[in-house]
Structure 1
Amino acid sequence: MQLNKILLIVVLVLALFLRIWRLDDVPAGFYSDEASIGYDAFSILHTGRDFHGNSWPLFFESIGEWKDPIYIYASVPGIALFGLNEFATRLPAALSGLLTVLALFLVARELFSEELALLASAFLAVSPWALQFSRVAFEAAVLPALFLFALWFFLMGLRDPRLWIAASALFALCLYSYGTGRLFVPLFLVALLLIFRVELIAAKKQLVIPAVIFLLLSLPLIITVLFSPEVMFSRMNRISIFALGHSPFEFLDNYVQYLSAEFLFYRGDANLRHSPPGYGQLLWFSAPLLLAGIAACLLSFDKRSKLLFAWLILFPVTAALTFEGSPHAIRSIVGIGLFELFAVAGAAWLFDLTRRLAGHRIAIMSGFLFLLLAGANAFIFTGDYFSKYPAQSSVWFESGLGDAFKFVGQRQGEYDYVVLTPRLDKAWIYAAFYLGIEPELVQKGDYGKIIQCNPSSCDLRGRLLLLERISEPEHISQSGQNVLLLTVKNAAGRDAFKLEEKTGLCNPCLQDQLS
């Protein structure tokens, strides 16, 4: 219908606006993982190597861990167009978020109807879970879009098996988007094989090419696991419930948290980089729809319902295997889209029930009133997100540090050294990002005038520009004096960083290494 096309465009425009508007300053600041991803893409763009000097890597050596490649490579075009900045680095997340909304529409249309698909995509457009990871440059941001498009091609392949080729390629790409996908996708594929075994057996000849494509695309990952296991497991070995001092029985305690009302509707993830405070992963208006949808799917328990329940059972598995920060919104990111599908199933069931009990007119009026309440809930959330969240999360995103480095960029020519104090965690990657240091130098560990050390003790002579946190003690040696040049406030309006000039000689000591 023409009206449905217009409504879909409206939903997509809304989704795009919420994901692009003020992308560079909401969330306010820039996390070190974002700066690392952006600088890696910048380094690849100009040298074909990451900032560690590895040529066109499959996995990127980062700050104490390894990062998946898809987001980093996807950042290269934006950085080529817009330069090395927050907007360009976050742009792949915003576009992936938009594509996730579109992909959910396509999946929901296959499972339900075009009208319910529009409703599901509208719910996802304003979802706190989906919106948050459409506005931060985290590698996991591309996983929901890849997974949903893969699922859509699979569902369409039940009518035209040739489309399973695209599905298998996209499922394989999920393995290179974020660690969660490497366990979730194989488990989900097993679930699909069991649920749709009759259709798959009937079309077994058409499965050969998709299976070969999936295996071929997975082969580099398998080789990495076999010959460089530290790339795959260095991070997991530190946060797994199988690590020293933790019990495998923690899995059950962790698992149930991801299905709790507290995580989904009240509190979300306690890490303010992952969730805005005062909101769960979903808006409260979807709670009754979600319960109704689960009930409706239990009553029908057709293949569509089995697919949704398999997804519901599997999405927390990888996250529940870790003890750090549970419940963790990123490690459970494959849940994005699932609850909107249950919600529209519930909406359809409640509408039909109301229509049979009270008549069509009452059902229409009830649905309209509920949409008004949902719209009000979404309006309040998005208002809070853009007005309150930047200040609330300012410390979590090192708000103000970018402004401090911009001052450094303007004044560093006047100084012999720029000293970053030890409490500026991972400050060297911020320096590389904001100062645009040439990748060839960074790959050699050369940051020019940038030094990270304790300014009261490192062996530096000449005129120093100090960048430090406001909370750090004064660094005044017997042979020099500090002059305050600038105090930088964060998005909450609090003094966060300061820049000082120090002249004279510092007492000798061994200089800390940047990397």
Structure 2
Amino acid sequence: MGKWLKGAALTIAIGAAVIGLHRIRRPEDTAIGALWFAIAILLSIIASTSASPLSLKGPEAPLTSSRPKQILGYGLLALAGLLGGFSLRLFSKEQGLLPWAFYWLSVIAFGTSFYLLEESSPTGDKGGSRASSPVYSGYIFCLILLLAAFLRLYRIDSMPPGIYYDEANNALDALWTIETGKHPIYFEGWGGRGPLIMYSLATAFRLLGRNPLALRLVPVFYGLAGVVAIYLLARTFWGWETALIAAFLLAVMRWHAHFSRVAFDAITVPCFTGLSLHFLGRALTRGRRTDYMWAGFFLGWGLMGYAAFRVVPLLALIILGWIALRRRLTLAQIAQGGLIFLAAALIASAPLLFYAARHPKAFTARSKQVYLLRFYPPSQRLSALLRNVRCTLLMFHQRGDNNARHNLPDAPMLDPVMGVLLVLGMGTSLRRIGDWRHLGVLAWFALALQPGIWSIEAPQALRNIGVVAPIVLMCATFLDDVMQMVGGRRPIVNLGKLKPLTPLPLIALLGAIAILNYNFYFYHQALEVRGFYAFYGVETTIGRLVASLGTDYRFYSIYSGDPTVRFLSPPDIDHQFLNPVETLPLREPVDKDVLYIVDPRYDPPEVLFHHWYPEARVKELMDPAGKVMLKLIEVEAEAINHAQGLRTRYYAGGKLIAERVEKTLDVQPPPDISPPLTVEKEGSIFIPQTGTYRLSLQADAPSLLFISGPAEAVRLHEGEEAEVELVKGWHNLRLHCQVEEEGQQITVQISGPPELQEPVSSQFFNLHKLLRQGLRGYYYKGAEWQWPPVFSRIDPFVSFRWHIQPVPAPFSVEWCGYLVIE
């Protein structure tokens, strides 16, 4: 085809891709947008040029002729196998560092053997057709790496806005390995995780201490390593121009930059895939066995990370199989290189494979948990799978991940410019599909989508994180092809003196992509309040608050056991679970002020705290949207201790002569008050367990004991006793009696379950009566309201959804009381 026709096809392809992007953004125009994309891909195929082939070499680098090196090399190779086997034997017995020491010795022995056996300067080192890189390309790449670092470190303390549950669990597991000295192969908790991210975090904590920055720097490292890996891969496959473009696109892509800030092991997928394929490409073009070895090592180490990496071995098999099918190398050459590649991968991943063989259920637990088809009957599985395919393919241009931890909910995963480039780059790769490099990129793209397609919650930016690398490679190969057509090796027009200006449009385009991603991430996604809550912004705020206040307070919240709070809080903090039945009001003396950290969505209302502690001070904390997310209710230790008792009033001649808080239910007038007296004790009593209680009132003078009960109040007169059913929780109590002479005592005895022993201590009393506003709720085991209830309490509001279940499900609740109609 003539140059001008190619130029016309290219121009129309770009226009069709832009129109397709505009139409596909509207769900009702999805089919029309897809049609325009298909036209753009077809025209891109027509406009694209053929790829310059790379000459391939089998493992033909000469072996050393030195007899000592041969003996030592083959000896180390045998030793690597023995050390690896011994490490697996140790792994079956213990979880310490010793098995890992033998594992690393086996890896080192295996790698050293190939460096000894192979000549250091083989004749194929510069095979292939790529031009050598100019010096300034290295400087440009360093600038790109600095830009990538900036986009991953800028506002790292506030974006993401919190430390999510899974991140905190990873951190706590890493700290556990430091504290206990145990180093398992696989971490089975929370669905199962490989050791790569755990031991990376443990290393960061050892170097930088237990803090959020150390947690965040680990994914930043793997994100930057991913940029380096894609640069090396693209330079090996296509040359330095394509490599710089691909590295820049990955550096500024908000999808990759975001997960480079989050302590998930998913960010390791682009890094280790890129490094493994880079060395595999080097091996195929340079003929060095050590390159096959490194390719296998990085493949094996990648398997130690995120589960989505498990499709990568299939990608390597497709590439080598295609080369064999196209007869670019002989079967013997591929078999020799493939054997080294496989052996290195097995050595590097041996502990994980050993664990998977011994514990297949634990190893595949998370994959089975999210497996799409298990949620559908056989008749609906095909339609469910097709829906997942459709929404996964549309995630780039129409509707992306809805999870605010992964994306601005529902926003397309790619910016408009990169979205257009992906469509056009796919056409370029399809035009060159006979070339193993472009076939590999297309296969990489398809395989990287599988974890999201075959799981629930599609589209899934996290499980599909591996697709970012083939996306930028397709975009980069297209842009490089256009540059060559405009002013490079294959120009469609002679620009003459304007040729030096040809890079300017490319620079402007790349700059626009960078600005779009920067603006979207830091001024839209970062300000989304759903992202604040999705990243456990509330829990993070609590953890930081507790850490800042230190040991000056005792804290109560429903988040005391939350991993995020535990990670952020120092280990010596007194932080207890806020159970309204047990801890509101408090029933034991305290030696420091108490801070209730209240989440208005799930905790009792403020009025209940003020009822028990009228002196409490309240401070509200706002979320990014300006709504109250937490209430800090501070109660002084003196107020808490003072309230643990009964309000006792002494009357003489009908007049109040004394009032104090007493810690017992018995009546013993103080020496400074002389009979005859009327004594009244009033407040509330806590019944620690539902059951039958024996009450007796021993008095020689007129007396009355009143305790509110589940059906009707319990009333005892002097000399009476009774057995009554009382429900766990607070009950109003009032004792009214006459003291007619010195030394006269009035004794109340309560006996029942062992939690409540004679004499009843002050921890079961409170000088305040129950809140009158609300309904008394009776909480039962099971769904049938079967007596007796587990506990009872006054509920200021009726809730049918509990963040923290008051009773293990299933349970039922009965609310009793009166409605006041005014």
Q: TM class by shorter-chain length?
A: 0.7 to 0.9
1:185 match: 312
Query: Are the equivalent residues in 2 in contact too, given 1:103–1:145 (CA < 8 A)?
Result: yes
Which residue does the alignment assign to 1:444?
Answer: none
| 1:174 pairs with one of 302, 324, 347 | 302
For 2:15, the equivalent position in structure 1 comes to: none
Asked whether the equivalents of residues 418 and 513 of structure 2 are also in contact (C-alpha less than 8 Å), the reply is no
**Counterpart residue identity of residue 177, structure 1:** G
AA at the equivalent of 2:252 = V
Q: 1:411 to 1:95 in 2, by over 3 A?
A: closer
Structure number with greater CO (CA < 8 Å, separation at least 6) is: 1
Question: TM-score with structure 1 length normalisation?
Answer: 0.86
Match among 176, 187, 212 for residue 43 of structure 1: 176
Residues 399, 491 of structure 1: 8 Å contact kept? no
Partner deviation per Cα, 1:431-469 (whole Å, 9 max, x = no partner):
32111327xxxxxxxxx7433343245585235532232
Pair 1:479–1:352, CA change in 2 (3 A): closer
Instruction: Give the conservation status (yes or no) of the 8 Å contact 1:428–1:452.
Output: no
Q: Does 1:496 find its partner at 2:667?
A: no
Bigger shift: residues 246-255 or 290-299: 246-255
Match of 1:418 among 524, 534, 555: 555
**Higher share in strand:** 2
Matching residue within 335, 343, 346 for 1:212: 343
Cα contact 2:597–2:630 (8 A) shared by 1: yes
Aligned to 1:256: 390
Any gaps of 5 or more consecutive residues in structure 2? Answer: 1-133, 645-685, 689-727, 729-789, 791-804, 808-822
Are 1:241 and 1:251, in contact at CA under 8 Å, matched by a contact in 2? yes
2:283 paired residue among 150, 153, 157:
157
3-state DSSP class of the match of 2:621? strand
Distance 1:300 1:384 in 2: 34
When residues 212 and 236 of structure 1 are mapped into structure 2, their CA distance, relative to the original with a 3 A threshold, is same
Alpha-carbon distance change, 342 to 512 in structure 1, aligned in 2, over 3 angstroms = same
Q: Match for 1:309 among 425, 435, 442?
A: 442
Cα deviation digits, residues 256-300 of structure 1 (max 9, x gap): 33332xx11344211111113575332221233322222222223
Question: What is the aligned partner in structure 2 of residue 242 from structure 1?
Answer: 373
Q: Which runs of 5+ in 1 are unaligned?
A: 49-54, 439-447
Q: Any conservation in 2 of the 1:401–1:497 contact (CA below 8 Å)?
A: no
Q: Distance in 1 between matches of 2:501 and 2:399?
A: 32
Partner amino acid for 1:168?
Answer: G
Does residue 97 of structure 1 match 2:223?
yes
Paired residues for 1:319-338 under 5 Å: 319-323=452-456, 325-338=457-470
Q: How do residues 398-477 of structure 1 correspond to structure 2 at under 5 angstroms?
A: 398-411=536-549, 413-415=551-553, 418-421=555-558, 424=559, 427-437=561-571, 449-457=574-582, 461-462=587-588, 464-475=594-605, 476=608
Taking the aligned partners of 2:222 and 2:540, their CA distance within structure 1 comes to 25
CA deviation map 1:396-432 (0-9, x unaligned): 11224333233323546455x53222xx4x8431232
- Alpha-carbon contact 1:484-1:498 (below 8 Å) kept: no
Report if aligned partners of 1:27, 1:389 keep a CA contact under 8 Å in 2.
no
Structure 2 CA distance for partners of 1:507 and 1:452, relative to 1, 3 Å: farther
CA radius of gyration, larger in? 2
In the alignment, the residues of structure 2 paired with residue 121 and residue 365 of structure 1 have an alpha-carbon distance, to the nearest angstrom, of 22
185-194 or 13-22: bigger deviation: 185-194
Alignment check: 8 A CA contact 1:164 1:210 kept: yes
Aligned partner letter, 2:532: S
Using the aligned pairs only, state the percent identity.
Answer: 24
> After the TM superposition, which residues 22-421 of structure 1 pair with which residues of structure 2 at under 5 Å, given as runs?
22-48=155-181, 55-63=182-190, 65-158=191-284, 159=286, 160-182=288-310, 184-197=311-324, 198=327, 199=329, 201-203=331-333, 204-245=335-376, 247-249=380-382, 250-260=384-394, 263-277=395-409, 279-301=411-433, 302-323=435-456, 325-354=457-486, 356-360=491-495, 368-392=504-528, 393-411=531-549, 413-415=551-553, 418-421=555-558
Amino acid at match of 1:297: S
State the aligned residue count: 490
- SS state at 2:199 partner: helix
Further displaced range: 7-16 or 233-242: 233-242
For 2:345, the aligned partner's letter is F
Cα 1:512–1:294, aligned 2, differ >3 Å: closer, same or farther? same
Task: Tell me if the contact between 2:319 and 2:439 (Cα under 8 Å) persists in the aligned partners.
Answer: no
3-state SS, counterpart of residue 345 of structure 2: helix
Kindly indicate whether the alpha-carbon contact (under 8 Å) linking 2:315 and 2:440 is maintained by their aligned counterparts in 1: no
Query: How much has 1:243 moved relative to structure 2?
Result: 1.6
Range with greater deviation from structure 2 (37-46 or 334-343)? 37-46
Given that residues 104 and 148 in structure 1 are in contact (C-alpha distance below 8 angstroms), is that contact kept between their aligned partners in structure 2?
yes
Aligned AA (1:214): A
Does the C-alpha gap of structure 1 residues 437 and 333 become closer, same or farther in structure 2, counting only changes over 3 Å?
same
Distance 1:294 1:477 in 2: 62
Give the superposed CA RMSD: 2.9
Q: 1:493 to 1:38 in 2, by over 3 A?
A: farther
SS of aligned partner of 1:264: coil
| Structure 1 CA distance for aligned equivalents of residues 600 and 400 of structure 2 | 30
Q: Give the SS at the match of 2:390.
A: helix
Distance in 1 (CA, whole Å) between partners of 2:501 and 2:390 is 36
TM-score (norm 2): 0.55
Deviation at 1:165, TM superposition (A): 0.8
- 1:311-332 deviation per Cα after TM superposition (whole angstroms, max 9, x unaligned): 1221111221112x20101111
Aligned partners of 1:128 and 1:266: how far apart in 2? 16
The 3 A distance-change label for structure 1 pair 266 and 366 is farther
Tell me the alpha carbon deviations over residues 108-150 of structure 1, each in whole angstroms, 9 at most, x when there is no partner. Answer: 1112110111011011100021111111111212221111111
- The answer to whether the 8 A contact 2:160-2:262 is kept is yes
AA in 2 matched with 1:172 = G
How far is 1:473 from its partner? 4.7
Give the 3-state SS of the residue equivalent to 1:402 in structure 2.
helix
Deviates further, 404-413 or 134-143: 404-413
The verdict on how the C-alpha distance between 1:171 and 1:458 changes in structure 2, with shifts beyond 3 A counting, is same
- Structure 1 residues 150 and 465, CA, compared in 2 at 3 Å: closer, same or farther? same
Structure 2 counterpart SS, 1:74: helix
| 1:354 CA drift (Å) | 4.2
Cα distance in structure 2, aligned partners of 1:277 and 1:374: 25
Gap change, CA 1:92 and 1:73, over 3 Å in 2: same
Q: Which residue of 2 aligns with 1:8?
A: 141
Measured at CA, do residues 410 and 274 of structure 1 come closer, stay the same or move farther in structure 2, by a change above 3 Å? closer
Structure 2 CA distance for partners of 1:354 and 1:208, relative to 1, 3 Å? closer
Indicate conservation of the 8 Å contact 1:127/1:281, yes or no.
no
| Larger helix share, 1 or 2 | 1
